Amino acid sequence: RSALHRRIAYHVLAVAGGEPRRIVLGVMVASALISMWVSNLATALMMLPVALGLAACADRPDSRERDVRHFTYCLILGVGYASTIGGMATIVGTASNAMVAGIVAQRTGTPVTFAQWASFGIPMALVLVPAGWLLLTRLVFRFELGSDAALREVMLREMRPTGAMTPPERRMASVFLLLALAWTFGPLWRVWPPLSSLSDAALGTLAAITLFMIPAGGGERGTLLGRQDLRGVPWDVLLLLGGSLALSEAMDVSGLSQYIVQSLGVLTGLPHPVLVLAIVALMIAWTEVATNASAAATVAPALIVVAAAAGVAPVLLLLPAALAAACGYALPIGTPANTAVYASGRVPIGDFIRAGLRMDVIALIVITLGALLIMPLVF
């Protein structure tokens, strides 16, 4: 509501310059940063007009049609990919992250903290965003467009804030920064007994309540958030999260989890690296035809039993599965961000699939290696 996210995107894009490939990278970095805290779909819808405006500016008489077309594809698909990748980086980035973290806490009694998730998710995003950029601009949709100040001007005009930071923006930024610091450094202040039981969820709830109490300032009446903003709360997502926990318990009590594990019994005998690779591949394929939340809610309870049978900590299988559940890049229905960018009508389905399949393979490799090399250091 305070438009703070647009100001952040503006400053990221301001350093991209006028070189077209750097502009694509700037758009992707801005999308990923925002999507760490805002829903993937909302991020894609916010950044898509910027991408379309840049694409229109590049369409000049002295530019080859193929180069302009490929530049357009890179911008639009870059928004879709980065909006999804950014959501993988934090526990609040997308619904499936919070869902899997809740299932882990419910079934094992050990919560996954914001800092732990970020310690795994942020390195994945730091690799996947540049990898996606190189894939689009250097491999699949190569183009040759010269540096152009007009492109940079369009980019900044689309995102330019009006004037200096307003009081609502400053106050929102203060609450956001304090919450991010509290989440990040939770292991340090939780050693104090009175705060040891304060969870990340409680911190987020406290910050949300605070926004309904802090005056907006700057001549605006009311508080940073008001009663009318409750209409914008994604109640369907909250119901989905709660329903996933109930589904997890029901699958365990009914024996369905055991049945699924028996069906996947061959996995339990695999070496750990092969097991992780198989689970990540399964989730990426599944989420191409199902929502990431439904895929995670269905598979997570069974993976806890698979982990027990394989003799590994459940979190070492569930977190890679959660990240993989957000990686359906090949089809428009794979992720909400995919659907949003495909709806622009600017990327043919054949090119969409051609690039997306390659991105799926990159995600498979990166998440698997991250699960094997980084997660043992965190958990």
Q: Is the pLDDT of residue 3 over 60?
A: no
In a domain, 178, yes or no: no
Residue 206 lies in a domain: no
DSSP, collapsed to helix, strand or coil, labels residue 97 as helix
Same domain? For 140 and 248 the reply is: no
Q: Is residue 187 part of a domain?
A: no
Instruction: Confirm whether 327 is domain-assigned.
Output: yes
Print the domain residue range for 277. 234-378
Within 13 Å, how many C-alpha atoms sit on residue 182's CB side?
18
Rounded-to-integer distance, Cα 183 and Cα 8, Å: 20
R_g (Cα) of the chain, nearest Å: 21
* pLDDT value at residue 190: 67
Q: Same structural domain for residues 11 and 157? A: yes
Output the pLDDT for position 48: 85
Write down which residue in 135, 162, 189 finishes a domain: 162
> How many H-runs (helices) and E-runs (strands) does the chain carry?
19, 2
Q: CB of 354 within 8 A of CB of 147?
A: no
| Model confidence, pTM | 0.77
134 in the same domain as 33: yes
pLDDT given at position 253: 73
The total domain count for the chain is 2
227 domain residue, yes or no: no
Q: Please check whether residue 194 lies inside any domain of the structure.
A: no
The mean pLDDT value for 332-352 works out to 87
Strands (DSSP E) contained in 199-238 are 215-217, 220-223
CA distances from 231 to 46, 210, 236, 240 (A): 19, 18, 12, 17
Last residue of a domain, one of 139, 162, 185: 162
In terms of domains, do 151 and 254 share one? no
- Whether 140 and 251 share a structural domain: no
Same domain, 372 and 254: yes
**Which of 145, 162, 179 is the last residue before a domain boundary?**
162
Residue given tokens 């801005």 in the structure block: 30
Q: Report pLDDT digits (tens) over 40-97.
A: 887 888 788 878 877 877 766 666 888 889 999 999 999 999 999 999 999 888 878 8
Task: Specify whether 260 is located in the same domain as 156.
Answer: no
Lowest mean pLDDT among 1-5, 43-47, 295-299: 1-5
Does residue 45 fall inside a structural domain?
Answer: yes
Task: State the pLDDT at residue 55.
Answer: 80
The answer to whether residue 184 sits within a structural domain is: no
